Structure 1
Amino acid sequence: MTTPTTVTGERADILALLQRHRGFLKHTVRGLTDEQAKRTPTASALSLGGLIKHVSATENGWAAFATGGAEAMLAEPSDWVDGFRMVEGETLAGLLAEYEKVAARTDELAATLDLDASHPLPEAPWFEPGASWSVRRVLLHIIAETSQHAGHADIIRETIDGQKTMG
């Protein structure tokens, strides 16, 4: 983590919660092979490697939004077809390394950006027309997204080999 040790108050709380839920997500893939990380053993098409990849890309996109608005977010590459799965040539180690880079950048932004700065959301059917989100709301959304997918990952991991993140 590259966050300055002087981060306190609300920023420290946001960072601690984000890091906690990232930790849960990363715990679900501990000790897995690439083949296990690619497996889709539940009724959904989700895999553990695919979830790491998706959460990393989503966090990266929202970090771009926090710094430059919808235009910056939309400039980030996204792959709706392969964004939730490991494709040929990808490894779990590589996906985790990329996630670490994205997380370090987000942590730095959470420690330094004006939490009240806001940008209009991109036009999309799932966003309220004309709405804006603050940097604070973006960080809370990243926490929610990470937490939700950590839960998905826990179910998938338990299906693969019985391991549970909590309990």
Structure 2
Amino acid sequence: MTTTTLSAEKTDLLSTLAKHRGFLKFTVRGITEEQARATPTASALSLGGLIKHVRDVEESWMRFAVGGAELMESVAGDWENGHRLLPEESLAEALAAYEETARKTEEIVAGLDLDAAHPLPEAPWFAKESWTARRVLLHLIAETSQHSGHADIIRETLDGQKTMG
């Protein structure tokens, strides 16, 4: 976490997000590049793809927290390739990028007003409402937790390893 003195609420939100990032990263400890790309379950998800996706989601939502839908959408996403490691990408690179995103998120949150709100982007899955920076962080925690669970199932399917239990 940053060395700036944070409010208790920001500290709690960031430490909870870091805890769930840790669970996700734990699922890829000791795996090969082949395992990072494997899709051994009924879904098309892979461990490396999940790391890459969660990083992209965090980057996107932090842009939203700072500048709303316009800034969020200022970087074009690649839905299909955002969920898998491409041949020229490695798990180590995906993890390093995720670490850099975590560092940037902590810096951004340090300067955020958690009550600042922006209207959500127009999309069929969003209601016409606004989200505060606080709600964005809660969403990132939920997103990271959900995908950490997906990763745990994939890892257990690959070689029997589990994050917990």
TM-score (norm 2): 0.97
Structure 2 residue ranges without an equivalent (≥5): none
After alignment, is 103-112 or 132-141 more displaced?
103-112
CA deviation vs aligned residue, 1:99-142 (integer Å, no higher than 9, x gap): 1111111111222200000111100000002x110000001101
Counterpart in the other structure of 1:30: 29
- Counterpart of 2:118 in 1: which secondary structure? strand
Counterpart in the other structure of 1:89: 88
- State the alpha-carbon separation in 1 of the partners of residues 3 and 75 from structure 2: 26
Question: Aligned pair 1:149/2:147, yes or no?
Answer: yes
Question: Aligned pair 1:80/2:84, yes or no?
Answer: no
- State the alpha-carbon separation in 2 of the partners of residues 111 and 28 from structure 1: 28
Structure 1 residue ranges without an equivalent (≥5): none
Paired residue type of 1:60: E
CA deviation vs aligned residue, 1:27-55 (integer Å, no higher than 9, x gap): 00011111110000001100000000000
Aligned length: 165
Query: Quick check: 2:37–2:84 contact (8 Å CA) kept in 1?
Result: yes
Paired residue type of 1:79: D
- Counterpart of 2:148 in 1: which secondary structure? helix
Map 1:3-42 → 2, pairs under 5 A: 3-4=2-3, 6-42=5-41
Coordinate RMSD, CA, aligned: 0.9
2:130 corresponds, among 106, 114, 132, to: 132
- State the alpha-carbon separation in 2 of the partners of residues 39 and 116 from structure 1: 41
Structure 1: 4+ residue segments shifted above 3 A? none
